[in-house]
Each structure stands twice: as structure tokens, then as C-alpha cells.
Amino acid sequence: MTHSFDATVLREYDIRGIIGETLGAEDARAIGRTFGSMLRDAGGSRVAVGYDGRVSSPMLEHALVEGLTAAGCDVVRIGMGATPMLYYAEASDDEIDGGIQITGSHNPPNYNGFKMVFQGRPFFGADIQELGRISAAGQWADGAGDVEDRDVMDEYIERMVTALDGVDTSALEGMRVGWDAGNGAAGPALERLVAKLPGEHHVLFTEVDGNFPNHHPDPTVEENLADLRKLVSAKSLDFGVAFDGDGDRIGAIDGEGRVIWGDQLLMIYAEDLLASRKGATIIADVKASRALYDHVAACGGEPLMWKTGHSLIKSKMKETGSPLAGEMSGHVFFADEYYGFDDALYAGVRLLAASARLGKSVTQLRSDMPQMINTPEMRFQVDESRKFAAIEEVKERLSGTDADVNGTDGVRVNTADGWWLLRASNTQDVLVARAESDSEEGLERLVGQIDEQLALSGLERGESVGH
């Protein structure tokens, strides 16, 4: 027996496809059989499995477990929940060697996929390509693993609440917070979590519904924060927190309804953490504001710019011993008193803790930030064969000039006006562009430089496309 996947589903950071078109039960079974074989080959045998609230998730979970047990792995089924709950189950139990979460993340309802952990590290890139190769060759282990069901939600929530240990209770008691689960998988955990938090808490859309009837669960798109903004305004709350479909990305607004973007959240977390951990390395992706890197340095930290992608950031954290990292997309990773994975629920609790410890409201912390002027993330279609080649052409052209270029992930160019970025997406046939300045005129000049470089490579920015 062998199994070949549709060419589009084996991505850089995870496995993802459209149910009934590019992804189905046979794929899930093959993923389980192959992942299980790879894990056994590496000396492991026990896998935690969870799934999100999508309509197709239970079907995929059933087939995945069949594949894992057929490879001789024992399976710990933790049921429906947020992706970070699966990460917690894997990280907190020394007897568990790997983990797989079935989730379509922030994609439309007809998508689904798999996020994987292999012996404590992210399973991505070359690992996923190897999984495809082994499956196509049918090089599978044989066995008959056991299956057990385990409820980890209560202990997961207790673990998150420890983020408030030692924080001034009187400061926390006065906080009034809104939360929007967006009908995603984090809803049930959120309900239990806020019941244990000091202060006053108001929740929206905690009922899990894979059709996402209220709004799409992607908190990095401002229109998806409209319901949260209304709640915060109507009840005069201090701030609001929103989650994506599987609870590993956070979005936030302050008491005035202003969005607190991923890099701005990281500024707050970094200031809080660096008060007690001077000199720590704080990692952010290449899309993050210069204000963040400056703020980390001003607070006594070592800012490190790294490649976009949650798996790449997690790997860099392990390599550098960084206690905190984040991305513009709302993935925030705490290895400080936590496990180093991206957990939006935990990040929400840490926002309460940071505000209390710093002695400032979230609104004040947001107001204290420099008023940079940015473009949104501009994403535009480009032929797959031209995607990386075009970036190399830009690098080549700029290498012959006195431009200040950072080539960590694509091309990030610093100028007197600010900076601009052009990079190839690892998951889609798109180029991503962004620019930031402290003036509208400066921003216009930076966007002009992006357009100029694209034109020199026979491309144009055109219409921006979605995620």
C-alpha cells in the first residue's frame, strides 16, 4: 500500500487542504500511518491527538487515529479544543512523544489540516516533505497501538492561571475585559478560564460552530474585531481580546477601540518581561515595526529579527534560548514560565499580568507607543515559479547600491523615511509587501520604491489578495 497527497496540501508549516477536493479521510489515515512510522523510527511511540471545531474535524480525527495505531503508536485522544491545548498535552507529559492537532486554523470553513509536534519540536519544512515521500513509497511500520481518551482541559486552564501568581491582586480585581472566541475551538476553554480570573469578564461567541456564523475567526483582519469593539465600547471595558479559529493567534483592542497589532502586543510583553530579565533575546518576524526593535533595546533586551512562520520562530527560540517571541500575525510564544509554544489564551492572561505589573492600563500602554504610519500587509498574486526568483533579483539589484538591506527573510530595506519589505510567502503563490514611516510623504516614497523594484522584475502590485 502507498499513498500520494495532492500537490497543494504539503505546506511549509503544516498540512492543509480543501475537504472533499484535496483532503479527505484517506489522507488523514496516511498522515497518521506515516507520522507514526517516523516517530517509531526515532524511538517514540505515544502521540496526543486533538481537533478543532470544524465540521470535518471528527471524521479526519477518526482516520488519523486509525493510521497512527496501524503504525504501532499508542494514541492519547484529548478531544475537541484549541491547538495550544494539544501542545500543552504534548509538552507537559514526558511519556508523550508527539502531537497532532487537526485544524484549518483561520482558513474558510471548507478547509482543514494538521499541525504537528515531533519529540518536542515543530514538525515542518523538510519533515513534511519527508512524510510525503515515505507515504508515496509505503515505507510504513506495522503494529496495533492502544487508544485512550484523556480530558486535559482543567489542568491546562490551571496551568495558564499560574501566569498571575505574584501579581498584585488589587490591580487585577479592577480590570474589565471583553473576549471574543469567534465560534472557534478556544470557546469552551475560554469560558472556564475567565471564571477563574480576577476582575470582570464578558465573552462573545464561545459556542463552537465550524460554520463561523458571526464573523470569520481571524483577529488580524480589522473588520473581524467589530463585535468586540462594540462590546468594549458599550460596557466601557478596559480592553478586548480575540482569537483565531484554533486559539493559537491573538488579536486585541484597547479601551478606545484601537487595534493593538501583533508587534505592539509584543512591545507590552517585552517591557514586562525585561523588567526582571535584562539582556534577554526577544525575537520578532521581519514584518514587525522598527518601534518594537527600538523598544526592546530601550528596555534592556536584545532584539532579533527572524523569518516569518510559527515553526521557524519556535526553532529559533530554542536555538537562542529566547524567552519571548512574536509575529505580526498574532502568534506569541512564551518560553518564560511556559513551554515556548504559541497560545493565545495564555497570551491573554499575560496581557492582564503585564498591565498590572507595569501599573498602566492597556489603553495607556497603547498610547505610549510611537505613532508609526504603516501600510497593511499587501499580498498579491505572482506565479509560483517567479516568487522566489523575483526576490533574488531585488536583492541582486540592491547589492550594487548603498542601500541598507536585511536579507533574513526576503528583502527589508531601511531608509531615512523608514523601511519597506518584500518577501515571498512560504504557503501561497503570493508576494508580501509592507512599509512603515513616521510621515505620510515618507510612506508614499517607500511604497514607490517597492513598485519600482517590482516593475524592474516585470511585476506589479495590483490587487491585494486574502490569506
Phi-psi map region of 173: left, alpha, beta (phi>0 left; psi -120 to 50 alpha): alpha
Could you tell me which of 400, 393, 380, 444 has the C-alpha nearest to residue 418?
444
Could you tell me which of 226, 158, 252 has the C-alpha nearest to residue 197?
158
Q: How many CB atoms lie within 10 A of CB 232?
A: 24
Q: Which residue has cell 517571541? A: 325
Question: Active-site residues: which are they?
Answer: 105
Range 371-410 burial, b when 16+ CB lie within 10 A, else e: ebbbbeebbbebeeebbeebbebbeeebeeeeeeeebebb
Strand partners, 202: 178
Could you tell me which of 6, 237, 193 has the C-alpha nearest to residue 82?
193
Opening angle at CA 265, ends 114 and 242, nearest 5 = 55
